[in-house]
Structure 1
Amino acid sequence: MASTSSDDTLPSGGRIFTSIPDIFFIPEFVFGGLVWMLVAATLVAPPNPLGWVMFVSVFCFVGTTAWFFIFLCGANKSHIWPALDVGFHFLAAVFYLSASVALAFITVSLGTVVTLPGVLYFYRLDIAAVVMSYVATLLYFLHAIFSAIRWKRS
Protein backbone atom coordinates (compact mmCIF):
# COMPACT_ATOMS: atom_id res chain seq x y z
CA MET A 1 0.00 0.00 0.00
CA ALA A 2 1.42 3.36 -0.99
CA SER A 3 1.48 6.07 1.60
CA THR A 4 1.65 9.74 0.92
CA SER A 5 4.21 11.71 2.82
CA SER A 6 4.09 15.42 3.47
CA ASP A 7 7.09 15.87 1.15
CA ASP A 8 4.97 14.89 -1.86
CA THR A 9 1.94 17.08 -1.19
CA LEU A 10 3.39 20.54 -1.71
CA PRO A 11 6.23 21.48 -4.02
CA SER A 12 9.16 23.56 -2.86
CA GLY A 13 12.06 25.29 -4.49
CA GLY A 14 12.00 25.50 -8.26
CA ARG A 15 9.17 22.95 -8.48
CA ILE A 16 6.66 25.69 -7.62
CA PHE A 17 7.18 27.10 -11.10
CA THR A 18 5.91 23.87 -12.66
CA SER A 19 3.03 22.77 -10.41
CA ILE A 20 -0.48 23.75 -11.43
CA PRO A 21 -1.83 25.72 -8.49
CA ASP A 22 1.49 27.37 -7.70
CA ILE A 23 2.08 28.62 -11.22
CA PHE A 24 -0.56 31.27 -10.42
CA PHE A 25 1.81 33.04 -8.01
CA ILE A 26 3.43 35.17 -10.72
CA PRO A 27 0.17 36.37 -12.37
CA GLU A 28 -1.23 37.09 -8.89
CA PHE A 29 1.80 39.30 -8.25
CA VAL A 30 1.38 41.10 -11.55
CA PHE A 31 -2.37 41.73 -11.46
CA GLY A 32 -2.48 42.40 -7.72
CA GLY A 33 0.34 44.90 -8.08
CA LEU A 34 -1.44 46.56 -11.00
CA VAL A 35 -4.60 46.96 -8.92
CA TRP A 36 -2.54 48.46 -6.13
CA MET A 37 -0.80 50.94 -8.46
CA LEU A 38 -3.90 51.91 -10.42
CA VAL A 39 -6.01 52.56 -7.33
CA ALA A 40 -3.16 54.50 -5.74
CA ALA A 41 -2.92 56.68 -8.85
CA THR A 42 -6.62 57.46 -9.11
CA LEU A 43 -8.81 60.14 -7.61
CA VAL A 44 -9.97 59.14 -4.13
CA ALA A 45 -13.36 60.82 -4.10
CA PRO A 46 -15.20 58.33 -1.86
CA PRO A 47 -12.34 57.24 0.43
CA ASN A 48 -14.00 54.32 2.25
CA PRO A 49 -14.54 51.85 -0.62
CA LEU A 50 -11.22 52.71 -2.20
CA GLY A 51 -9.56 52.29 1.19
CA TRP A 52 -10.94 48.75 1.30
CA VAL A 53 -9.65 48.11 -2.22
CA MET A 54 -6.19 49.36 -1.21
CA PHE A 55 -6.23 47.21 1.94
CA VAL A 56 -7.18 44.12 -0.05
CA SER A 57 -4.61 44.70 -2.78
CA VAL A 58 -1.77 45.39 -0.30
CA PHE A 59 -2.80 42.53 2.02
CA CYS A 60 -2.98 40.02 -0.82
CA PHE A 61 0.24 41.27 -2.43
CA VAL A 62 2.18 40.98 0.84
CA GLY A 63 0.50 37.67 1.71
CA THR A 64 1.23 36.19 -1.70
CA THR A 65 4.83 37.36 -1.47
CA ALA A 66 5.25 35.71 1.93
CA TRP A 67 3.49 32.56 0.69
CA PHE A 68 5.71 32.48 -2.41
CA PHE A 69 8.91 32.69 -0.36
CA ILE A 70 7.67 30.07 2.13
CA PHE A 71 7.12 27.70 -0.78
CA LEU A 72 10.35 28.70 -2.50
CA CYS A 73 12.45 28.09 0.63
CA GLY A 74 10.77 24.76 1.34
CA ALA A 75 9.31 25.69 4.73
CA ASN A 76 5.95 24.18 3.74
CA LYS A 77 6.61 20.58 4.75
CA SER A 78 4.16 20.26 7.66
CA HIS A 79 0.83 18.48 7.17
CA ILE A 80 -1.10 21.71 7.88
CA TRP A 81 0.24 23.61 4.86
CA PRO A 82 -2.14 22.25 2.20
CA ALA A 83 -5.15 23.40 4.25
CA LEU A 84 -3.52 26.78 4.91
CA ASP A 85 -2.85 27.12 1.19
CA VAL A 86 -6.53 26.59 0.39
CA GLY A 87 -7.65 28.89 3.20
CA PHE A 88 -5.39 31.78 2.24
CA HIS A 89 -6.25 31.70 -1.44
CA PHE A 90 -9.97 31.32 -0.78
CA LEU A 91 -9.84 34.28 1.65
CA ALA A 92 -7.92 36.30 -0.93
CA ALA A 93 -10.52 35.44 -3.61
CA VAL A 94 -13.39 36.53 -1.35
CA PHE A 95 -11.57 39.73 -0.38
CA TYR A 96 -10.77 40.54 -4.01
CA LEU A 97 -14.36 39.83 -5.09
CA SER A 98 -15.71 42.27 -2.50
CA ALA A 99 -13.09 44.85 -3.46
CA SER A 100 -13.86 44.39 -7.16
CA VAL A 101 -17.55 44.96 -6.63
CA ALA A 102 -16.89 48.09 -4.57
CA LEU A 103 -14.43 49.41 -7.15
CA ALA A 104 -16.85 48.71 -10.00
CA PHE A 105 -19.59 50.59 -8.13
CA ILE A 106 -17.30 53.59 -7.62
CA THR A 107 -16.28 53.50 -11.27
CA VAL A 108 -19.88 53.41 -12.48
CA SER A 109 -20.79 56.31 -10.22
CA LEU A 110 -17.72 58.23 -11.44
CA GLY A 111 -18.90 57.64 -15.01
CA THR A 112 -21.87 59.94 -14.41
CA VAL A 113 -19.56 62.95 -13.97
CA VAL A 114 -17.05 62.02 -16.67
CA THR A 115 -17.83 65.23 -18.57
CA LEU A 116 -16.06 67.31 -15.92
CA PRO A 117 -12.53 68.35 -16.88
CA GLY A 118 -9.83 66.03 -15.61
CA VAL A 119 -12.23 63.27 -14.55
CA LEU A 120 -11.86 61.22 -17.76
CA TYR A 121 -8.24 60.33 -16.87
CA PHE A 122 -9.24 59.01 -13.44
CA TYR A 123 -12.24 57.24 -14.93
CA ARG A 124 -9.97 55.34 -17.32
CA LEU A 125 -7.63 54.44 -14.46
CA ASP A 126 -10.60 53.12 -12.50
CA ILE A 127 -11.78 51.05 -15.45
CA ALA A 128 -8.33 49.49 -15.76
CA ALA A 129 -8.25 48.84 -12.00
CA VAL A 130 -11.67 47.13 -12.14
CA VAL A 131 -10.54 44.84 -14.96
CA MET A 132 -7.28 43.97 -13.18
CA SER A 133 -9.17 43.41 -9.93
CA TYR A 134 -11.55 40.93 -11.50
CA VAL A 135 -8.64 39.13 -13.17
CA ALA A 136 -6.87 38.93 -9.78
CA THR A 137 -10.10 37.58 -8.27
CA LEU A 138 -10.23 34.88 -10.93
CA LEU A 139 -6.58 33.96 -10.39
CA TYR A 140 -6.97 33.66 -6.62
CA PHE A 141 -10.16 31.64 -7.07
CA LEU A 142 -8.47 29.24 -9.51
CA HIS A 143 -5.51 28.92 -7.16
CA ALA A 144 -7.89 28.09 -4.30
CA ILE A 145 -9.74 25.48 -6.39
CA PHE A 146 -6.58 23.73 -7.57
CA SER A 147 -5.09 23.91 -4.06
CA ALA A 148 -8.25 22.30 -2.67
CA ILE A 149 -7.98 19.51 -5.22
CA ARG A 150 -4.35 18.97 -4.24
CA TRP A 151 -5.27 19.06 -0.54
CA LYS A 152 -7.98 16.42 -0.98
CA ARG A 153 -5.60 14.17 -2.94
CA SER A 154 -3.00 14.24 -0.15
Structure 2
Amino acid sequence: MPPLVLSDDEVQQLQSIANSRSLPHSIVQRAQIVLACGAGETNTAISKRMGLTGMTVGKWRKRYRDLGPEGLHDELRPGRPRTYKDDKVAEVINRALESKPTDGSTQWTARSLAAATGISESTAHRWLQTFSLQPHRQKSHRCAEA
Protein backbone atom coordinates (compact mmCIF):
# COMPACT_ATOMS: atom_id res chain seq x y z
CA MET A 1 0.00 0.00 0.00
CA PRO A 2 1.24 3.50 -0.77
CA PRO A 3 1.87 5.64 2.31
CA LEU A 4 -0.97 7.83 3.49
CA VAL A 5 0.16 11.43 3.90
CA LEU A 6 -2.00 13.54 6.23
CA SER A 7 -1.85 17.31 6.65
CA ASP A 8 -1.75 18.86 10.13
CA ASP A 9 -5.41 19.90 9.78
CA GLU A 10 -6.42 16.38 8.80
CA VAL A 11 -4.51 14.90 11.74
CA GLN A 12 -6.17 17.33 14.14
CA GLN A 13 -9.63 16.57 12.71
CA LEU A 14 -9.03 12.81 12.81
CA GLN A 15 -7.74 12.96 16.40
CA SER A 16 -10.86 14.85 17.39
CA ILE A 17 -13.00 12.12 15.83
CA ALA A 18 -10.86 9.29 17.23
CA ASN A 19 -11.15 10.65 20.79
CA SER A 20 -14.88 11.33 20.58
CA ARG A 21 -17.22 9.63 23.00
CA SER A 22 -20.40 10.80 21.27
CA LEU A 23 -19.79 9.63 17.69
CA PRO A 24 -20.63 6.07 16.60
CA HIS A 25 -17.90 3.55 17.41
CA SER A 26 -17.50 2.64 13.74
CA ILE A 27 -16.56 6.22 12.80
CA VAL A 28 -14.16 6.52 15.76
CA GLN A 29 -12.49 3.23 14.83
CA ARG A 30 -12.11 4.29 11.19
CA ALA A 31 -10.47 7.56 12.25
CA GLN A 32 -8.05 5.55 14.44
CA ILE A 33 -7.22 3.33 11.46
CA VAL A 34 -6.52 6.32 9.22
CA LEU A 35 -4.37 7.98 11.91
CA ALA A 36 -2.32 4.81 12.27
CA CYS A 37 -1.92 4.62 8.49
CA GLY A 38 -0.80 8.25 8.44
CA ALA A 39 1.76 7.45 11.16
CA GLY A 40 3.35 4.90 8.80
CA GLU A 41 2.06 1.66 10.33
CA THR A 42 1.44 -1.26 8.01
CA ASN A 43 -2.01 -2.70 7.47
CA THR A 44 -0.89 -5.95 9.13
CA ALA A 45 0.36 -4.17 12.25
CA ILE A 46 -2.81 -2.10 12.54
CA SER A 47 -5.06 -5.10 12.03
CA LYS A 48 -3.27 -7.13 14.71
CA ARG A 49 -3.26 -4.26 17.20
CA MET A 50 -6.93 -3.39 16.65
CA GLY A 51 -8.25 -6.94 16.22
CA LEU A 52 -9.42 -6.37 12.64
CA THR A 53 -8.75 -8.03 9.32
CA GLY A 54 -6.17 -6.65 6.94
CA MET A 55 -8.92 -6.17 4.36
CA THR A 56 -10.83 -3.89 6.74
CA VAL A 57 -7.79 -1.72 7.36
CA GLY A 58 -7.02 -1.60 3.64
CA LYS A 59 -10.60 -0.64 2.83
CA TRP A 60 -10.63 2.39 5.14
CA ARG A 61 -7.11 3.47 4.11
CA LYS A 62 -8.20 3.45 0.46
CA ARG A 63 -11.56 5.12 1.16
CA TYR A 64 -9.84 7.95 3.08
CA ARG A 65 -7.19 8.37 0.37
CA ASP A 66 -9.89 8.55 -2.34
CA LEU A 67 -12.63 10.54 -0.54
CA GLY A 68 -11.01 12.29 2.42
CA PRO A 69 -13.01 12.68 5.67
CA GLU A 70 -16.27 11.83 3.87
CA GLY A 71 -14.78 8.39 3.20
CA LEU A 72 -15.11 7.50 6.90
CA HIS A 73 -18.89 7.22 6.54
CA ASP A 74 -20.73 4.23 5.13
CA GLU A 75 -22.04 4.36 1.60
CA LEU A 76 -25.77 4.34 1.09
CA ARG A 77 -27.06 0.82 0.74
CA PRO A 78 -29.79 -0.35 -1.58
CA GLY A 79 -33.15 -1.03 -0.09
CA ARG A 80 -36.82 -0.78 -0.69
CA PRO A 81 -37.85 2.70 -1.82
CA ARG A 82 -40.18 4.69 0.41
CA THR A 83 -43.84 4.00 -0.20
CA TYR A 84 -45.11 7.44 0.84
CA LYS A 85 -43.68 10.87 0.10
CA ASP A 86 -43.10 13.51 2.79
CA ASP A 87 -46.21 15.46 1.78
CA LYS A 88 -48.43 12.43 2.47
CA VAL A 89 -46.84 11.96 5.92
CA ALA A 90 -47.35 15.67 6.66
CA GLU A 91 -50.98 15.49 5.50
CA VAL A 92 -51.75 12.57 7.84
CA ILE A 93 -49.97 14.13 10.83
CA ASN A 94 -51.69 17.49 10.27
CA ARG A 95 -55.05 15.78 10.02
CA ALA A 96 -54.42 14.01 13.33
CA LEU A 97 -53.39 17.26 15.02
CA GLU A 98 -55.76 19.78 13.54
CA SER A 99 -59.10 18.09 12.97
CA LYS A 100 -61.60 15.72 14.49
CA PRO A 101 -62.88 12.53 12.86
CA THR A 102 -66.03 12.97 10.81
CA ASP A 103 -67.71 9.95 12.41
CA GLY A 104 -68.48 11.88 15.60
CA SER A 105 -65.58 10.50 17.63
CA THR A 106 -63.71 12.86 19.91
CA GLN A 107 -60.22 11.84 18.81
CA TRP A 108 -58.35 10.01 16.09
CA THR A 109 -57.25 6.42 16.45
CA ALA A 110 -54.74 4.73 14.17
CA ARG A 111 -57.64 2.77 12.69
CA SER A 112 -59.83 5.81 11.97
CA LEU A 113 -56.86 7.82 10.67
CA ALA A 114 -55.97 4.98 8.30
CA ALA A 115 -59.53 4.73 7.02
CA ALA A 116 -59.79 8.48 6.45
CA THR A 117 -56.45 8.86 4.66
CA GLY A 118 -56.16 5.61 2.71
CA ILE A 119 -53.05 4.26 4.43
CA SER A 120 -52.73 1.02 6.38
CA GLU A 121 -53.43 0.86 10.10
CA SER A 122 -49.87 -0.22 10.83
CA THR A 123 -48.48 2.75 8.88
CA ALA A 124 -50.78 5.18 10.69
CA HIS A 125 -49.76 3.67 14.03
CA ARG A 126 -46.04 3.81 13.14
CA TRP A 127 -46.27 7.47 12.08
CA LEU A 128 -48.12 8.43 15.25
CA GLN A 129 -45.42 6.70 17.29
CA THR A 130 -42.58 8.20 15.24
CA PHE A 131 -43.82 11.73 15.89
CA SER A 132 -44.78 10.92 19.51
CA LEU A 133 -48.40 11.82 18.87
CA GLN A 134 -51.13 10.65 21.22
CA PRO A 135 -54.37 12.18 19.95
CA HIS A 136 -56.33 10.54 22.75
CA ARG A 137 -54.31 12.49 25.33
CA GLN A 138 -54.75 15.95 23.84
CA LYS A 139 -56.90 18.29 25.90
CA SER A 140 -58.09 20.14 22.82
CA HIS A 141 -57.64 20.15 19.06
CA ARG A 142 -55.85 22.98 17.31
CA CYS A 143 -58.56 23.25 14.70
CA ALA A 144 -61.25 25.86 14.31
CA GLU A 145 -63.98 23.20 14.16
CA ALA A 146 -66.23 22.82 17.18
- Relative contact order higher in (CA < 8 Å, ≥ 6 apart): 1
Shorter-chain TM-score: which interval?
under 0.3
State TM-score, norm by structure 1: 0.22
Specify which structure has the higher proportion of helix: 1
Q: TM-score, normalised by structure 2?
A: 0.23
